[in-house]
Amino acid sequence: MTWFTLIAVVGIALVFDFTNGFHDTANAIATVVSTRALPPKVAVLMAAAFNFAGAFAGLKVAATIAKGIVNADLISQESGAKVILAALVGAITWNLITWYFGLPSSSSHALIGGMIGAMVGRHGLHASGMSSIQWHGLTEKVLKPSLLGPLLAIPIALILTAIFLTLFGRHAPGPVNRGFRRLQPLSSGWLAFAHGSNDAQKTMGIILLALIVSPATHYPADSKVPLWVIISAASAMALGTYAGGWRIIRTLGQRIAKIQPPQGFAAELTGGSILWATAHYGFPVSTTHTISGAVLGAGAGGSTRLSAVRWGVAGNILVAWLLTIPCAAVVGAGVELVTRLPGGTFYAVAIAITVLFTAFQGRRKHAAPAAAPVPA
């Protein structure tokens, strides 16, 4: 059963990476699609390629996830792989729930919430259970940077948009929009590359943690991420990106604010730069939080009216952000209880397969919507 559990963890981790890809596709291409800078299929293919390339751009985020969130010493036996499996199923489930409702929630926070829930579920709510989480590392390396991402993105995107409109506002809107549409593939590619450098590493970190704690392997605690793990995670992320998450693309690209090419360029440039900087320091921030903040700031910067931003939609996204960690933790804790049953690993895998099937069924029912017409 030891090897089966480890293989199941690696497989479900790649499933999570896949759902992360199609859930977060909108982060990179929502604005470039909504402004018609690129056709949807071309934009998705480009984002998949840049996501794959970005996964090879560093390993600091992977190290944070593998060694900076939970106490690996407390999950060093067969139960450790089951804890990780439960955490992944919790994260996948929350990803699919928010995808169904078109809410751009954080896959990163879903994964971390699943880990917290599974660890506390295994060790209980008493002192030993609470000590299984490295709360200082969680706060300093995850929660604070994730809050900082959108808080920086909003004003930076707003200021960039205001600068663009000041420089080009006196020109005819047609040539200005066409010029920024030509620039948007570059900024969207940069954002997709930065997304891959951040999010794909989270799955690498989870797989590395499973290899370290599993008795089936002999990976020391200071092991580096194996090349096969990097390639597998990058490929799963790219495939998920290509599958697309059209409901969330609509929310980010059309429902938060009406985005024109100058605003789209500002949002993408801002989001990509922040994600690249945080990945450089090993902070697994939420790409969704960051780009949503950038879109919000760009939308506000492109208009003198606060009504240009649909605050009700922004409020729903905020609620999803707040619920992500606790809800994923509850699911992770519940699945961890399932793994204790005879044949529990099989049941957990069955749950993951069920939610994956739900994703494909949902995608069939919700085909890619046509991008809203944008004035020239």
* Position with higher pLDDT, 132 vs 14: 14
Segment 117-121 mean pLDDT:
84
* Position with higher pLDDT, 129 vs 356: 356
* Position with higher pLDDT, 243 vs 375: 243
Burial of 280 (0-12, 13-18, 19+ CB in 10 A): middle
pLDDT of residue 25: 64
Segment 283-306 mean pLDDT:
74
**Are the beta carbons of 262 and 161 closer than 8 angstroms?**
yes
Side-chain half-sphere of 41: how many Cα atoms within 13 Å? Answer: 1
C-beta atoms surrounding 20 within 10 Å: 31
Is the confidence at residue 94, as pLDDT, over 50?
yes
pLDDT of residue 363: 55
For residues 282 and 64, what is the distance between their CA atoms, to the nearest angstrom?
6
Give the residue from 216, 202, 205, 204 showing the smallest Cα distance to 5. Answer: 216
What confidence tier does 248 reach under pLDDT thresholds 50, 70, 90? low
Residue with tokens 């559990």: 5
Is the confidence at residue 41, as pLDDT, over 90?
no
* Position with higher pLDDT, 315 vs 255: 315
**Are the beta carbons of 78 and 5 closer than 8 angstroms?**
yes
Q: Which of 38-47, 62-71, 244-253 shows the lowest mean pLDDT across its residues?
A: 244-253
Q: Phi/psi zone of residue 36: left (φ > 0), alpha (ψ -120 to 50 degrees), beta?
A: left
Segment 36-43 mean pLDDT:
81
Main-chain phi, psi angles of 133, to 5 degrees: -105, 130
* Position with higher pLDDT, 258 vs 344: 344
* Mean pLDDT for the chain overall: 78
* Position with higher pLDDT, 74 vs 2: 2
Per residue in 322-332, pLDDT (tens digit) is 788 888 889 89
Segment 23-46 mean pLDDT:
77
What confidence tier does 150 reach under pLDDT thresholds 50, 70, 90? confident
pLDDT of residue 83: 85
Per residue in 187-226, pLDDT (tens digit) is 989 988 988 888 888 888 888 888 887 777 777 777 788 8
pTM of the model: 0.77
Burial of 117 (0-12, 13-18, 19+ CB in 10 A): buried
**Are the beta carbons of 63 and 205 closer than 8 angstroms?**
yes
C-beta atoms surrounding 158 within 10 Å: 23
| Six token digits for residue 339 | 């793994």
Q: Which of 115-119, 217-221, 222-226, 274-278 shows the lowest mean pLDDT across its residues?
A: 217-221
Helix runs in the chain, H state only: 2-34, 40-54, 60-67, 78-100, 107-123, 127-131, 135-138, 144-168, 173-213, 227-243, 246-250, 261-280, 287-301, 311-339, 344-365
What percentage of the chain exceeds 90 in pLDDT?
6
Name the packing angle between helices 261-280 and 287-301 (round to 10°).
150
